[in-house]
Amino acid sequence: MSVARPAGQQTVRRHNLGLVLEQIATGRGRSRAQLAHATGLTRTTVSALVDELVATRLVSELAPDRGSRGRPGSPLVLNPNGPAGLGIEINVDYISACVVDLTGAVRSRRTTITDNRLGTPRAGLRRALRLAEQVRADVDLPVAGVTLALPGLVDDDGVLRRAPNLPRWEGIDAAPALSEALRLPVGVDNEANLAALAELWFGDALPDFMLVSGEVGVGAGVVLGGRLFRGTRGLAGELGHVVVDPSGPRCGCGANGCLEQIAGQEALVRKAELAGAISTSTADPNGAVAQLVALASAGDARVLQVLSEAGTALGVALAAAVNVLDFPVIVLGGLYAQLGRWALESLSTELDQRVISHGWEPLDIRISTLGADAAVRGAAGSVVQGVLALPL
């Protein structure tokens, strides 16, 4: 149980401050009077709260909005020059960083291609730090904090506990070094979780969904009620190791028939090779994925077969997730944002068959509209959301 916390007037103030700020953030350019109506507070109170938000530079007031009857209200918007968030993503074969302002706009973004499997984590972190300093210098904004996205399981303390595709990084606690160098608070989170948040904040803005992020591994981020679902210890969403076929191939995690071994990037490429559709795997993996996209677009039957089988496997794993968690929307991201359209049919066939609520509760499958930078944007966005959630 969480420790008992008494409520006082400050609690009320904080709550209402958050309420008003949320309304300003969602509906753009509303006046004090409109905010009062939307929140149920009085105009007097809203005015006082807004004054406070303006004083802390979170909100700015635009010129009055002529055209309607009566005295025009002054539109209130999130201050685009207020505290911003810095996001860093260290992935298997690239590093990116970006700055997102309070309104959610990306103000700067840089990427470096580099194979992080090769160098030491120390070297990788130095590179990431340089990139972060560059994007920070690109903009003239106060940066409130940093979030780092990593491709693996991150525990509550920010330590990367498991990263099958970046094994040298396991056990790394990256936050302290970054925090000291940048002189900012640093958070760390799983790449799929942050991509899911990006989907929530910058994508379709649905409150309940699972984002399936296919990369070399298969991860998932779950958003329920507009909040990231982390589970008891922050390890929720490990879809990649749900069993699809107990007699399937052995996985790095020690078990057999994990989804990742059947529908992960390497499995797809390998199967396409075996089917003779693409050439040997000595080519870089991104090239192989591009080849798959091209061939599928051209209607190559062998590739389509591979993708259809991947859809079936995804369906088995996702059906288990839907039955256990109960969410109404699946968003395909990462690798599957590119390849998912050819797996959709077998995926939804499988889901229809295996999801127990099928028939009276619709299950929607979408393809992510965000590009490959979902995770960095989510990382930077999570800093901004943190500022908005605690408007001290």
Contact residues: its own copies, CB under 8 A: 1-2, 4-9, 11-12, 15-16, 19, 22-23, 38-41, 153, 161-162, 207-208, 220, 222, 224-226, 230-246, 253-255, 316-317, 319-321, 323-328, 353-354, 356-357, 360-361
Identify each DSSP E strand in 68-171 by its residue range. 76-78, 84-90, 94-100, 106-113, 143-150, 153-154, 160-162
- The angle, 0 to 180 degrees and rounded to 10, between the axes of the packed helices 301-325 and 265-274 is 150
Output 49 or 146, the one with its CB closest to DNA: 49
Establish if 43 lies at the interface with DNA (CB under 7 A): yes
Q: How far is the CB of 136 from DNA (least distance, A)?
A: 34
**328 touches which of its own copies, DNA, none (CB within 5 to 8 A by kind)?**
its own copies
Establish if 109 lies at the interface with DNA (CB under 7 A): no
Rounded Cα distance between 54 and 24, Å, is 12
Q: How far is the CB of 51 from DNA (least distance, A)?
A: 7
Rounded Cα distance between 307 and 267, Å, is 11
Q: How many CB atoms lie within 10 A of CB 55?
A: 9
Q: How many CB atoms lie within 10 A of CB 173?
A: 13
**64 touches which of DNA, its own copies, none (CB within 5 to 8 A by kind)?**
DNA
Q: How far is the CB of 71 from its own copies (least distance, A)?
A: 24
Output 4 or 392, the one with its CB closest to its own copies: 4
Residues 6+ apart with CB under 8 A from 5: none
Q: Which helix (H) or strand (E) holds 12?
A: helix 9-26
- Single residue of 44, 112, 134, 357 touching DNA by CB under 7 A: 44
Output 170 or 273, the one with its CB closest to its own copies: 170
Establish if 73 lies at the interface with DNA (CB under 7 A): yes
Judged by CB under 7 A, the chain residues 52 through 71 that form the site for DNA are: 64, 66-71
Q: How far is the CB of 237 from its own copies (least distance, A)?
A: 7
**31 touches which of its own copies, DNA, none (CB within 5 to 8 A by kind)?**
DNA
Please give the structure tokens belonging to residue 118: 């090769």
**153 touches which of DNA, its own copies, none (CB within 5 to 8 A by kind)?**
its own copies
Judged by CB under 7 A, the chain residues 1 through 40 that form the site for DNA are: 6-10, 12-13, 16, 31-34, 40
List the one residue out of 226, 179, 198, 200 whose CA is nearest residue 109.
Answer: 198
Rounded Cα distance between 116 and 124, Å, is 6
Output 14 or 126, the one with its CB closest to DNA: 14
Output 74 or 81, the one with its CB closest to DNA: 74
Rounded Cα distance between 294 and 154, Å, is 35
Rounded Cα distance between 389 and 17, Å, is 9
In the block, tokens 């972060």 appear at 132
Establish if 183 lies at the interface with DNA (CB under 7 A): no
- The angle, 0 to 180 degrees and rounded to 10, between the axes of the packed helices 301-325 and 344-354 is 30
Point out which residues bind DNA (CB under 7 A): 6-10, 12-13, 16, 31-34, 40-45, 47-49, 64, 66-74
